[in-house]
Amino acid sequence: MRLLTLVFVPLVFLAQNVYADLTSAQNLFQQGRSAEALAEVDAVLAQSPKDAEARFLKGIIYADLGQSNQAIEVFAGLTQDYPELPEPYNNLAVLFAEQGEFEKARDSLLAAIQTHPSYSTAHENLGDLYAKMAGIAYDRALEEDNANESARLKLSAVNGLFSAPVSMTNPVQVAVAEPEPVLTEPEPVVTEPEPEPEPEPVITEPEPEPEPVVAVITDPEPEPVITEPVTTTGNAADDIRDAIRDWASAWSSQDVDGYLRAYSRNFRPSNGAPLASWISYRRQRLSAPSFINVDVGEINVEMLDSDRARASFVQGYQSDNYQDQVVKTLTMSRTSDGWQIVTEVSEAL
């Protein structure tokens, strides 16, 4: 397992031109000639100050040279100019963690996940960060009370995740040689941040309820299942599909209020962020691009009970500077305002 390592990926969809000098800078950096690479990057930025790929590489070089404050300034600027990119947020988290500012590191990783929910690097790094924070807390507990066996076992469990002491700057390997302390601790390891709470309703949902759905759909003959003009289940499924299409339409037209009305007051953001913070973030994300186009494929609806359902479909997203395609799963709830979204999960195709 690698801890919060700096990530460098080509941002070619943001660059309007390919600069030979930037390629040279990348080659110099890979050869360990960071100072020369920095001079090449500065030459590129003199021609195109907003070039995202050049700025990103400059932040990487600053970090390699140990100039953390300059690197933070570069990546922070990228998050302002290109808020849809998760990588600058991730790298800010690395640098904040190196400086011991774990809350800032956590917030940066949550922002990366909000930007791209399927960005596995940020999810893994968030888990490592929580493990580091937990280890520090348990260590302090032992400093106050050396006889605290509970804290000792938990600290051992955290350290047992890695083959070396948890470090926010060095890559480490998963420890498999000394799992005994983990086995003796009955699940108290609070280092799992549970980043994906959405499946819980599915697991805890009693199974008897879906049967009436099948009974209604197949009654009295299989042919009318598709049209379903009379049955309650069919009407609910159609209402859910209409609600999802309205949600996608509001998103595409950048109707922020219409988009937010699709979400229940009980909506839970996938990364555990406060609802008010999520709403503020989504307002900014819908307003920033010059255009947005959201395409919703065939919507499969599974009724969990008369007032709850799960809907899944392939979602295509495109804006002036970003595009992707994911499998979207929504948990829907019937409210006084109609069918609204309670949980939302995106998975990369």
Per residue in 187-246, pLDDT (tens digit) is 444 455 555 555 554 444 445 444 444 434 444 444 444 434 433 456 999 999 999 999
Q: How confident is the model at residue 20 (pLDDT cuts 50, 70, 90)?
A: low
Kindly write down the DSSP assignment for every residue of 242-265, as one continuous string. HHHHHHHHHHHTT-HHHHHHTB-T
Residue 302 reports pLDDT greater than 90: yes
Q: What is the mean pLDDT of the chain?
A: 78
Strands 323-335 and 308-319: antiparallel
List alpha helices for the chain, DSSP H: 20-30, 34-47, 52-64, 68-81, 86-98, 102-115, 120-144, 149-159, 180-184, 200-204, 210-217, 232-252, 256-261, 275-287
Q: Do domains 20-129 and 200-348 have the same CATH topology?
A: no
DSSP 158-225: HHTTBSS---SSS---B--S--HHHHHS-S--TT------TTHHHHHS-TTTHHHHHHHHTSS-SGGG
- Does pLDDT of 167 surpass 70? no
What residue spans define the domains of the chain? 20-129, 133-184, 200-348
Between 44-53, 172-181, 190-199, the lowest mean confidence (pLDDT) is in: 172-181
Average confidence (pLDDT) over 328-349: 93
Residue with the larger pLDDT of the pair 242 and 12: 242
Instruction: Report the predicted TM-score, pTM, of the whole model to 2 decimal places.
Output: 0.44
* CATH of 20-129 given 1.10.1370.30, 3.40.50.1010, 3.60.20.30, 1.25.40.10: 1.25.40.10
CATH code for the part of the protein at 200-348: 3.10.450.50
pLDDT(290) > 90: yes
Residue 271 is predicted with a pLDDT of 65
What pLDDT score was predicted for residue 164? 43
Per-residue pLDDT at 150: 87
Q: Which of the four pLDDT bands, split at 50, 70 and 90, describes residue 182?
A: very low
